[in-house]
Amino acid sequence: MQITTPRAWLIRGILLWLFAWLICSALLYAEQIRRQYWESDRAFTALFSTLSMALTQNESVIPILNGDEDPALLQQKFPQIQALEKTHDVPLDAPRVQPLSETSYWLYNPYRQIRVKINLAQLLKSDTHFTGIQLGLIKPHDLSHCRWLWTRQFPQHFQPFTLQAGADPRWLSVALLPHLFIALAWGFIISMVMLLLWVRSQQRTDRQRADYYQHARLNTLGELTAGVVHEINQPLTATQMWLQGGLRQLDQHNVDGAQHAIRSALTQTQRISELLTRFRAHLSEEPVTMTMVDLAHSWQRVGNLLEHEPGSKQIRITHDFSTRRVLTDRLWLEQVLHNLLNNAIQAQTNVQHGWVHIKSEAAGDKVKVTLTDGGPGFSSEALKLGLMPLFTERQGGLGLGLTLTESLMTRMDGSIELANSAQGGAEIRLWFSQEKRA
Q: What are the tens digits of pLDDT across the range 241-254?
A: 878 888 888 888 88
Global model pTM greater than 0.95: no
pLDDT category at 1 given cuts 50, 70, 90 is very low
| Listed range (256-265, 378-387, 398-407) with the worst mean pLDDT | 398-407
Sheet of 132-134: strand order equals: 132-134, 162-167, 148-153
- Whether the pLDDT of residue 203 is over 60: the answer is yes
Give domain limits for the chain. 6-167, 289-438
The confidence score (pLDDT) of residue 438 equals 47
Let me know if 157 is exposed, middle or buried by CB neighbors in 10 A (0-12, 13-18, 19+).
Answer: exposed
Percent of the chain's residues with pLDDT above 70: 85
Strands 97-99 and 162-167: unpaired
Q: What is the pLDDT of residue 180?
A: 93
Helix (H) or strand (E) holding 394: none
DSSP-derived secondary structure for 192-217: HHHHHHHHHHHHHHHHHHHHHHHHHH
* Rounded Cα–Cα distance for residues 20 and 306 (Å): 75
- Residue 222's pLDDT is what? 62
Residue 42's Cα: distance from chain center in Å? 53
CA-to-CA distance for 98 and 411, rounded, in angstroms? 113
Binned at pLDDT 50, 70 and 90, residue 208 comes out as: low
Give the Å distances, CA to CA, from 146 to 29, 42, 132, 153, 314.
Answer: 20, 17, 9, 19, 108
pLDDT at 342 over 60: yes
Residues 398-420: pLDDT tens digits? 666 787 788 888 888 889 999 89
Q: Which of 8-12, 38-42, 138-142, 328-332 has the highest mean pLDDT?
A: 38-42
Measure CA 323 to chain center.
53
Whether the predicted pLDDT of 5 surpasses 80: no
Gap between the Cα atoms of 118 and 104, Å rounded? 5
In a 3-state reduction of DSSP, which class is residue 181? helix
- Helix-strand-coil split of the chain, %, nearest 5: 50, 20, 30
For residue 228, what pLDDT is reported?
67
Q: What is the percentage of the chain residues whose pLDDT exceeds 90?
A: 36
CB atoms within 10 A of CB 63: 10
Q: Which of 373, 384, 365 is nearest to 431 (CA)?
A: 365
Q: What is the CATH number of domain 289-438?
A: 3.30.565.10
DSSP-derived pairing of the beta strands 354-363 and 315-321: parallel
Q: Residue 2: pLDDT band by 50, 70, 90 thresholds?
A: very low
Residue 284: pLDDT over 60: no
Return the minimum-mean-pLDDT range out of 284-288, 421-425, 426-430: 284-288
61 pLDDT band, cuts 50/70/90, is very high
The residue among 118 and 375 whose pLDDT is bigger is: 118
Helix, strand, or coil here: 378?
coil
Q: What is the pLDDT of residues 43-53, one digit of tens each?
A: 999 999 999 99
Closest by Cα among 308, 302, 364 to 336:
302
Check pLDDT > 60 for residue 325: yes
Alpha carbon of residue 35 to chain centroid: 43
The answer to whether residues 293 and 267 touch, using CB atoms and an 8 Å cutoff, is no
pLDDT at 124: 86
